[in-house]
Amino acid sequence: MAAVDDKRDFVSQLQDRTKRFVLRSIKVFKALPSNEEARIVGKQFLRSTSSVGANYRAVCRARSQNEFFAKISITIEEADESLFWMEIMSESGILPFEKLSALMTEAEELVKILSKARKNTK
């Protein structure tokens, strides 16, 4: 029974963590300069980050192992895409790296955690 409780705690904590990732991303989005390139990249960034939280919720509701695998794969892709857009924002000078580094670290950690969970389903 302890293993089941541990799994539930892990799932709940990861749901909270992915939601916080989205909320932190909204703050970054709001801090973007108001120019055309920032708006274009920012919208892509916000779509991918919000997809991480929404898709992880869907992972938790998967009705089969195949559905779980498919949905967690989407979540990993979106977390990695979020990281890509943060790299673009930093390297293009839209936002300084210092404003993005903590969120980039979180995205990297989420990719690793989710990838390990996916690997364990095989």
Q: What is the pLDDT of residues 68-88, one digit of tens each?
A: 999 999 999 999 999 999 999
Q: 């498919």: which residue's tokens?
A: 70
Q: Which domains does the chain have, with CATH numbers?
A: 2-119 (1.20.1440.60)
| Rounded average pLDDT over 90-117 | 97
Q: Nearest 5 degrees, angle CA 55-CA 61-CA 64?
A: 110
**Residue 41 carries which side chain, given as an amino acid letter?**
V
| Rounded average pLDDT over 12-16 | 94
CA separation for the pair 45, 80 (Å, rounded) = 11
Q: 């869907």: which residue's tokens?
A: 58
Q: What is the pLDDT of residues 23-52, one digit of tens each?
A: 999 999 999 999 999 999 999 999 999 999
| Rounded average pLDDT over 103-107 | 98
**Cα radius of gyration (the chain):** 15
Write down the pLDDT at residue 101.
Answer: 97
Backbone dihedral region for residue 62 (phi beyond 0: left; psi -120 to 50: alpha; all else: beta): beta
CA separation for the pair 20, 33 (Å, rounded) = 23
Query: What is the average pLDDT value for the chain, to the nearest integer?
Result: 94
